[in-house]
């Protein structure tokens, strides 16, 4: 038996390990780019549903053929702070008319029962009233969704920066995975 045979076996084992690691890295990058997103909730704007610091998984696949629906928790880049990902709930879609009256959200003339919210949607963040120039009642334009945080009195959302293009939505929230004590679907 020559010394070359064990060396070839060891080299082959090392190459197998390197190839396996490379495939795993490529697969993980493809998953993160096209299939799922992992997000840390940066603020308390979704309190009542999601806590500040929670970690959630969002799926990206269905957005290629199906726009977000009312009630979906979605992620998108902040129109006011590029590079910052926001997590909000879709409250109206293209063609729907929203109104904020007496602390109640109305969609197409019907009061929306939202047991998951905290605060009234007509209470504004100080210093930001009307910064999007939206007049109510407001009809959501084609290709857009209107998003609001569940913590209505502490959420920088479509009331302030306007509707969100469906093309800007990066994922639909699936579940919270951290902390484990709060793990659940959205």
Contact, 75 vs 171, CB < 8 A? yes
* Residues contacting 159, CB < 8 A, separation 6+: 100, 121, 124, 132, 134, 148
What does the alpha-carbon distance between residue 26 and residue 7 come to, in Å, rounded to a whole number? 28
The alpha carbons of the chain give a radius of gyration, in whole angstroms, of 22
45 annotated active-site? yes
Query: Which of the following is catalytic: 8, 13, 45, 165?
Result: 45
Query: Which of the following is catalytic: 88, 158, 171, 172?
Result: 88
60 annotated active-site? no
Count CB-CB contacts under 10 A for residue 49: 20
**Pick from 94, 118, 104: which is nearest to 46 by CA?**
118
Report, as residue numbers or ranges, the catalytic residues.
45, 88
């Amino acid at each position: 038996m020559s010394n070359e045979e064990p060396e070839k076996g060891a080299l082959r084992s090392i190459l197998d390990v390197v190839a396996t690691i490379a495939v795993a890295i490529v697969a993980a990058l493809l998953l993160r780019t096209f299939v799922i997103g992992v997000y840390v909730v940066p603020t308390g704007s979704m309190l009542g549903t999601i806590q500040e610091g929670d970690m959630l998984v969002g799926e990206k696949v269905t957005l290629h053929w199906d726009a977000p629906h009312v009630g979906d928790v979605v992620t998108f880049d902040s129109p006011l702070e590029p590079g910052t990902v926001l997590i909000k709930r879709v409250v109206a879609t293209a063609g729907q008319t929203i109104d904020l009256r007496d602390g109640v959200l109305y969609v197409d003339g019907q009061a929306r029962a939202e047991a998951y919210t905290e605060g009234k949607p007509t209470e504004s963040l100080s210093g930001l009233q009307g910064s999007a120039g939206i007049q109510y009642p407001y009809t959501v334009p084609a290709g857009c969704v209107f998003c609001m945080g569940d913590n209505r009195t502490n959420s920088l959302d479509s009331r302030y920066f306007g509707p969100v293009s469906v093309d800007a939505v990066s994922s639909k929230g699936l579940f919270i995975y951290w902390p484990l004590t709060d793990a659940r679907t959205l």
